[in-house]
Structures are given as structure tokens and as C-alpha cells.
Amino acid sequence: MPYIARADYAKQKEFVGNGECVTLVRHLTGARASSLWREGNKVPDLLEQGGIAKGTVIATFVNGRYQDLRQGNHAALFIRQVPGGIAIFDQWRNHKPSARVIYFGRSAAGASNRPERYSIVE
């Protein structure tokens, strides 16, 4: 079952906890520890099938598990599909919570900047 943020998530403008991405999405959704997260459906597949609820937690996974590494992985809230990409709400160290757009097909970008690398968190 996916985790979905409360409707007022975008009011969060200051860092949550240690400033890491997982801390933000857990704070806004009540999601359990990332070590317990499992990979759900892939974001591109769900977009083709009709969409994803606004505020749903998405993350990058390796072999069905979230890799809680210092870099190379990410968690965020899905906002909406946009032409060529998706809008997400996220934070990371030195980047306060805010919305941004990431685009499909940018192979030089890291996993956190490639929508095709994200899946729903269950």
C-alpha cells in the first residue's frame, strides 16, 4: 500500500530532521523506516496506466529494496506528470524542501534525476 502525504505538504519550507530525503517523506506521510520499504510499481508504468496520486512517496530501488546510501538514491513525493517528466517535492542536504521537475531520458543524470528510476514505495 503506497504512502501519501497530507494535502498541505508544500507548506514545508524548512529542513526536516537531518535534511535527508527520507526524513522529509517519512515526516510528511508517516511512512515506516526505509529499511522496510519495498518496491511497488514503476513510475513510468503507472503514468501509462492512468497516473499516480499527488503526494505519493516514490523512491529509487535496487533489487526491490531502498538502498540507504549517502548518494545515488533518492526518495520524494510525486506531484504530477509534466511534458517529458514529472514534478516532485523533495529535500536533500543543502536543498530545502521544494518542488522541482525531473525529465525522462537524461542518461547522464544521476538516479535521483531520472523519473524512469523511481517506483512507488510500499
Query: Which residues are part of the catalytic machinery?
Result: 21, 74
- Residue 80's DSSP bridge partners are 87
CA-closest candidate to residue 103, choices 112, 111, 115, 91: 115
Distance CA 82, CA 15 (A): 26
Report the b/e string of 7-29 with b at 16+ CB within 10 A.
Answer: eebeebeebbeebbbbbbbbbbb
What residues contact 88, with CB distance under 8 A and at least 6 apart? 58, 76, 77, 78, 79, 99, 100, 101, 102
